[in-house]
Amino acid sequence: MPGMDYVPPIYSGLAEGEWEIMLAWYAETGRHQLIGEAAVPLLSFLHGFVLGNRASRIVQLGTHAGYSALLLGFMLRQIGAPHGLFTLDIDASMCAVATRWIQQAGLEDFVAVARGDSRDSRSIEAAREYLGGAAELIILDSSHEYRSTLVELDLWYAALPAGGLLVIHDVSRFAQNFDVKGSGGVRRAFDEWRVVNPLAETFLLNGEARSMDLPRPLYKDACGLGLIHKPL
């Protein structure tokens, strides 16, 4: 990240073999232009949350090439939480890429990569079966389309136990451009959802960010971060 002259803990805490896996992952995905991994600020937030609270039942909606799944898998291995991450993607080719990297990293006991539609209630049952219970942390970073995101928010919030947390990426004004249908993206879905669900505890970081130009605010990801907490 611009202005950072140190190695963030999501990388500095890796064992030598884990770091080598990430270097190889970057080399391969760079060659094949499999761009789309989450940024350091989001993974740093998740790093502190998972390790600081021993979050051991996690669902990720949107696997892509497996960057986040690898780092989350390393965290789960560190805290000794097998069957801790169920990561879902609708693209069979991306699932194949991510699965291969999970296997290379030796994370098969900690991470399951599944092909499926995150708008389908059967995905909730598949996640519950793998995790051994309801997901306590759900990371939404999938299609970025307004209508799909609205369905996901309704479906997966209902699946959260009391005290559970939904983390939503790409909720800024800038990230609305990621909606290929031009319907308002994740931000519009988040705004509408929180109005209809006033009892949910919600929070938005960098929601009004409109570009990646410097200077950046305290939270460095211009794509923004949304939090939805299910109260006890």
The total of structural domains in the chain comes to 1
pLDDT tens figures, 40-51: 999 999 999 999
Residue 4 lies in a domain: no
9 prior amide bond cis, ω within 30? no
Residue 106 lies in a domain: yes
Residue 51, burial from CB neighbour count under 10 angstroms (0-12, 13-18, 19+): middle
Q: Which residue segment(s) compose the domain that 45 sits in?
A: 9-229
Angle at 17 between CA 44 and CA 1, to 5 degrees: 30
DSSP secondary structure code for residue 5 in this structure: -
Residue 113 lies in a domain: yes
Residue 23 lies in a domain: yes
User: Could you tell me the pTM of the whole model?
Assistant: 0.95
Residue 1 lies in a domain: no
Residue 115 · residue 62 · CB < 8 Å: no
What is the chain's pLDDT, residue by residue, as a tens digit (232 residues)?
566 788 999 999 999 999 999 999 999 999 988 877 788 999 999 999 999 999 999 999 999 999 999 999 999 999 999 999 999 999 999 999 999 999 999 999 999 999 999 999 999 999 999 999 999 999 999 999 999 999 999 999 999 999 999 999 999 999 999 999 999 999 999 999 999 999 999 999 999 999 988 677 899 999 999 999 999 9
In the sheet with 225-229, reading across from the earlier edge strand, the strands are 111-115, 85-89, 58-61, 137-140, 165-169, 225-229, 201-205
Residue 3 lies in a domain: no
CATH number at residue 186: 3.40.50.150
Residue 2 lies in a domain: no
Residue 197 lies in a domain: yes
